[in-house]
Amino acid sequence: MSQVTDQESLYYLQVVRRQPVVIVKGEGTKVWDEDGKEYLDFTAGWAVNNLGHCHPVVADAVAEQARTLMQTSNQFYTVPQVKLAKLLVENSCMDRVFVCNSGAEAIEGCIKTARKYGRLNRDGAYEIITALDSFHGRTLAGVSATGQPHYQEAWQPLLPGFVHVPYNDIEAIRKATTDNTCAVMLEPVQGEGGVNVPDEDYLKEVRAWCDANNLLLIFDEIQVGVGRLGTLWGYETFGVEPDVMALAKGLGGGVPIGAFLMKEHAAVLSPGDHGSTFGGNALTCAAAAAVMDYIVENDVVKHAAEMGVLLKQGLEKLRDKLEFVAGVRGKGLLLGLEFVDDMAAAAVAACNEEGLLLNPVRPNILRFMPPLTITPDEIEQGLQRLENGLVKARAPQ
């Protein structure tokens, strides 16, 4: 056993199930463990390292900013914060930005925005409709919004004001809407819920319903935003614009950062309503601005879309070849491989051996979310390692 894993079990709070891999270094799509073994990383820090590990543009931005200015508090203006906000607004349908430190915090901001909107425009309405199998983070408001009982049961009483409906079911949203409703919050594609892609028209119908009833439409783009679906923003994949959107994961290229953005009519928070000590910090904003700049300037999203097609085709070939693979789903570089039974954990363990890191998002589903900068060669190699791992995982012991 490695000293690191031993010490982790002694000193760290035991709340996460880890793979037995100590990652010490990363570059692009590759990472290395303590013994120098190389892996292709198809988890990318949970859809975070969109430019790959330690991209020089991110590393340089962090290093330079760290020597210039890291933290001032939001009592003052800083250059990187405004630069990032301008980049986000100019490259999206949104008008205003608030920068925070994580996805869960971005969701908190969206919830506060929705409640204030309801107070101002819907006669005090405060209920937010969210979807079953959604994931909106681990704070108490986040787990209350999340539509998965196993994230919620231990934390009763939850924050009131959330109504959960089946995903991809417009009628359920119509039925759940009351005078108390102020917003609908959805992931354009559910990530944590198992890579669930809605029908073509679903989000358009939700948009029309929200317009007709003066409800805010909030998209949780924490996982799908910043290029993941092969469009810069998840909403573009479906041709629907939300009023409010949450970002995090891919935004900082590896540094912890989140943001919530809104159109002008939803910019209801006013001085004193919200704040954060670290949120919008010069260091993380410099990194995120460098990521956004690089992605836009180098057409990384187009590349991601092309690589997504390649990876999906490869997975579909495996589905046709291996009788225990039931299906392939997803968009862009957020893909899922479904098995006929609960073999995802065994598949991940076997693929570790082969040098491929994967995420078992459900007992019967693997999630693929490699860096957007992955190359065709790395996809081919990854698919080969995947096939070897799956066959081994399936072989009689």
Ligand X SMILES: *Cc1c(COP(=O)(O)O)cnc(C)c1O
What is the contact surface with ligand X in residues (CB under 6 A)? 102-104, 107, 135-137, 187, 191-192, 220, 222-223, 248-249
Nearest-approach distance from CB 104 to ligand X, in angstroms: 3
Question: Choosing from 220, 238, 243, 312, which is the catalytic residue?
Answer: 220
Question: Choosing from 83, 116, 249, 312, which is the catalytic residue?
Answer: 249
211 is catalytic: no
220 is catalytic: yes
Which helix (DSSP H) or strand (DSSP E) does residue 164 occupy? strand 162-165
Q: Which amino acid is at 323?
A: E
The C-alpha atoms of residue 363 and residue 236 are separated, in whole angstroms, by 30
Q: Indicate the residue among 133 and 192 with the shorter CB distance to ligand X.
A: 192
Q: Are 218 and 185 in contact (CB under 8 A)?
A: yes
Q: Indicate the residue among 102 and 113 with the shorter CB distance to ligand X.
A: 102
Alpha-carbon radius of gyration of the chain: 21
Q: Are 131 and 165 in contact (CB under 8 A)?
A: yes
Please tell me whether residue 361 adopts helix, strand or coil conformation: strand
Q: Are 98 and 112 in contact (CB under 8 A)?
A: no
Q: Are 131 and 117 in contact (CB under 8 A)?
A: no
Nearest-approach distance from CB 146 to ligand X, in angstroms: 8
CA contacts within 13 A on the Cβ side of 365: 17
Among 201, 256, 257, 196, CA closest to 224: 196
201 is catalytic: no
Q: Indicate the residue among 88 and 222 with the shorter CB distance to ligand X.
A: 222
Which helix (DSSP H) or strand (DSSP E) does residue 126 occupy? none
Q: Indicate the residue among 332 and 355 with the shorter CB distance to ligand X.
A: 332
Determine the residue with CB nearest ligand X. Answer: 103
Nearest-approach distance from CB 300 to ligand X, in angstroms: 20
Q: Indicate the residue among 143 and 393 with the shorter CB distance to ligand X.
A: 143
Nearest-approach distance from CB 192 to ligand X, in angstroms: 5
Nearest-approach distance from CB 37 to ligand X, in angstroms: 28
| Catalytic residue positions, numbered | 135, 220, 249
